[in-house]
Chain A
Amino acid sequence: MDEKDRILLHLLEENCRTPEKELAVLAEMSEEDVKDRIGRLETDGVIRRYGAVVDWERAGDGNVAAVLELKVSPERDFGYDRIAERIARFPQVRSLRLMTGAYDLQILVTGPSMHEIARFVSEQIAPMDRIRETATHIIMKTYKENGTTFAGREEVERLPYSF
């Protein structure tokens, strides 16, 4: 990883559909170099996948989302890893993190209705071994996701000319 790799990663994170030719101009390198570097970053698992940031509320798909906080008893030799892997396998789980503080694991869950999420928590997550406590928080509105602000703000008009 060097400075050029970092610039490429930032550009791809911002818009992964940017053509390689344009990436080459922006990052001051040849197109071959861009291809080689991206290939290596993919192979090394630095780039995990390419996706879009979707405003699902605007898309109106009717899905709901909740943040779950879990208190978990860690296992000897494995810590939180094995239980985290089990939880991560559920497709309802969009993200999963180990946290410091009052609880251990934080999960983002999505589902077609609040009822479905409640069922998932009470029937799949809460009864798992080693889970001591759960708290479920319903997401009411998303203001910013992955660095992108969703709330539309009027652009301030600038003068067409100034020295």
Chain B
Amino acid sequence: MRDFVSKRARAIPPSGIRKFFDIAQTMEDVISLGVGEPDFVTPWCVCEASIYSIEQGSTAYTSNKGTPQLRDAISRYLDSRFSTRYDPEAEIIVTCGVSEAADIAIRAVTDPGDEILVAEPCYVSYNPCVSLAGGAPVPVLCRAADEFRLTADALAESITPKTKALIANFPNNPTGGVMEEADWRGIADILVDHDLLLISDEVYAELTYDGDHFSPARLPELRDRTITLNGFSKAFAMTGWRIGYLCAPPEITAAALKIHQYVALCAPVMGQIAAYEALRNGEAEKDAMVQEYRLRRNLFVDGLNNLGLACHVPKGAFYAFPSVESTGMTDVEFAEGLLREQHVAVVPGSALGPSGAGHVRCAYAVSRDDLKEALSRMGTFLESLK
């Protein structure tokens, strides 16, 4: 029989944490700091609204781009929360999570041979999506010394005549780094000079602890060269509902919509109804969750630094990204040792891009008691190395 698997699919590298996953599966008492999702259950008002709609028989396809009421609510939310304006009819598509939004955004703008810059370390999907679209992902490194911001210098160095777009995710998974207005202004000049597009994944926007999130599409010079991606998973603890959205100028939105309607048809209606309720009545619970993440961050980052694992204070998302260089181990050795010896799961930074090497990603989206237990086990592990 022929080998039916395509060269493209074959070329996608295997997941960097498969091995860890298998080890963790054999253990009973793992404390996992490896999960990129909230530990909270979706606010009850959101679940209840969705359950009710199912009881009422709301189980059919929706408009490809999402229900009008949800698009309208998203438009108003973005305006009031982040001061960005998008027309709910022509500039917003509701997608199956931000993952799908990223995929269709990349496919809508990438031609074979295009170089797409990816600010990393970063979420693992961007590079494969660029490759599957026929483009060439090119890393732009964000460094610990810059608190993992994307700098204008690093960006400028990576641009070639083939460069078409930049993908950036701030607040950042895995570093917790954020970009403020001044940071974006420096980036905007370069994007305009080289006539580049920005794909800005802002799924952690609500999880910004010191100051407000700045959405780059607020800058007039970037407004029409930016695709903004956002979603409900992180802010409203709704990962399993799979609701994200893409916002872009009408021409790009129309192109992305063609891809979306053929690959996904529409986002699940139950999720869309839930998302609408989250925007209407979920704010207080969202704020309470954000407050709790902030407390956990304070507790955990203080603990890491006390253990001698140097960690900058992440200003957003729910990840701490400490350096493990003081142990003399690589991030993969550290993560594997910690899992095997002390049953604490963290993600090696190098699995999230070369500039993540020497760091581990710890998601503090677990209870404070678990964080304390994890810190104590990490302390025992570090002692055992001496």
Listed in ascending order, the chain A residues whose CB lies under 8 Å from chain B are: 7, 11, 22, 25-28, 156, 158-163
Contact = CB atoms under 8 A, between A and B. Distances in A.
Interface residues of B, number: 25
Interface string B339-373: 00000010100001000000000000000000000
A31 B35 CA distance: 32
Nearest to A22: B299
Contacts of A161: 17, 20-21, 24, 32, 34-35, 345, 347
17 contacts: A25-B298, A25-B299, A26-B295, A156-B41, A158-B37, A158-B39, A160-B21, A160-B32, A160-B35, A161-B21, A161-B345, A161-B347, A162-B34, A162-B35, A162-B36, A163-B36, A163-B123
Nearest to A161: B34
Given A158-B32, A161-B345, A162-B36, A25 B302 contact: yes
Contacts of B24: 160-161
B45 to A, nearest CB: 16
B218 to A, nearest CB: 26
A89 B24 CA distance: 58
Interface of chain B: mostly helix, strand, loop or mixed: mixed
B25 interface: yes
Nearest to B17: A161
B128 to A, nearest CB: 11
Contacts of B345: 160-161
Contacts of B125: 163
Nearest to B352: A163
Contacts of A11: 295
A160 B30 contact: yes
A160 B25 contact: yes
A161 B32 CA distance: 7
B173 interface: yes
A85 B21 CA distance: 62
Query: 5 closest pairs, A vs B, by CB?
Result: A160-B24, A161-B34, A160-B32, A25-B302, A163-B124
Given A160-B345, A161-B345, A26 B299 contact: yes
A27 B37 CA distance: 24
Contacts of A7: 291, 295
A26 B37 CA distance: 22
A159 B37 CA distance: 10
Contacts of A160: 20-21, 24-25, 30, 32, 34-35, 345
A146 B359 CA distance: 41
Contacts of B17: 161, 163
Given A160-B24, A160-B25, A160-B345, A28 B36 contact: no
B119 to A, nearest CB: 16
Contacts of B352: 163
Nearest to B372: A22
B37 A162 contact: yes
Nearest to B16: A163
A155 to B, nearest CB: 9
B242 to A, nearest CB: 13
Nearest to B239: A162
A28 B124 contact: no
A28 to B, nearest CB: 6
A161 B20 CA distance: 8
Contact of B298 (A28, A158, A159): A28
Nearest to A153: B41
Contacts of B347: 161, 163
A11 B345 CA distance: 27
Contact of A163 (B39, B173, B299): B173
Contacts of A27: 295, 298
A158 B123 CA distance: 19
Contacts of B21: 160-161
Contacts of A25: 298-299, 302
A22 B34 CA distance: 24
Contacts of A28: 298
B14 to A, nearest CB: 13
Nearest to B23: A160
Nearest to B20: A161
